[in-house]
Amino acid sequence: DKFSNFLNSLNYFSGSVINNPKSMLNGFSKEYLFRLQEQGFPVIPTKKLDENLSLSRAKKIAFCSRFYNEVPKDFVLKPLDFGERGYSVVKLSFFNKESEFNEFVENNKPLILEPYFPEILTKGENSFVYLGKKFAHAVNKYSGHFLINSGFGNKVNYKLHRPTHEELEICD
């Protein structure tokens, strides 16, 4: 909240800022996934979860949903806002007790649910960088952990990724 309040205050700042505060604030939310989904772009199937959610209900939504082509073996929970760099990102299987889950929900709502892809442990993830509307480069990030960021003490390896024609077509 403090950071989002700070960014909002920049809208009334009389000086100049390099990055548009509204764009920065928008970038910290996962709402863009739903906009892309609605427009038919291939994104990770993502669901918003009800704020008064029990662990058993979350599991039912995850494993009984027709939203996914194949039911994954696990799911990832993330805060809708400010879930960047792995902050408060956990696997659904992490929770065994309703009380632990309830505390997590209370501290991080609203939440989103995404399928967990175990390939992230062996292949990492690719990030595509565009400057304006022009592709600049792509990077593969790998840590051997499902949270691919150094904020948790994980050693992250970066290497140049040469995108396939199909990957670039999707991104463009």
Q: Are 30 and 80 in contact (CB under 8 A)?
A: yes
Q: How confident is the model at residue 165 (pLDDT cuts 50, 70, 90)?
A: very high
Q: Are 81 and 29 in contact (CB under 8 A)?
A: yes
Q: How confident is the model at residue 13 (pLDDT cuts 50, 70, 90)?
A: confident
27-51 residue pLDDT tens: 778 888 888 889 988 888 888 888 8
Q: How confident is the model at residue 19 (pLDDT cuts 50, 70, 90)?
A: confident
Confidence (pLDDT) at 68: 65
Q: How far is CA 4 from the centre of its chain?
A: 18
Strands 134-142 and 90-91, bridge-based pairing: unpaired
122-142 residue pLDDT tens: 999 898 988 888 899 999 998
Q: Are 115 and 126 in contact (CB under 8 A)?
A: no
The reported pTM is 0.76
46-102 residue pLDDT tens: 888 888 888 988 888 887 766 666 778 889 999 988 666 677 889 999 999 999 999
- Of 136 and 145, the one with more pLDDT: 136
DSSP one-letter code for 81: B
Strands 75-79 and 157-160, bridge-based pairing: unpaired
Q: How far is CA 15 from CA 64, 71, 118, in A?
A: 52, 51, 46
End-to-end alpha carbon distance in the chain:
34
Helix-helix angle 98-108:55-63, to 10 degrees? 80
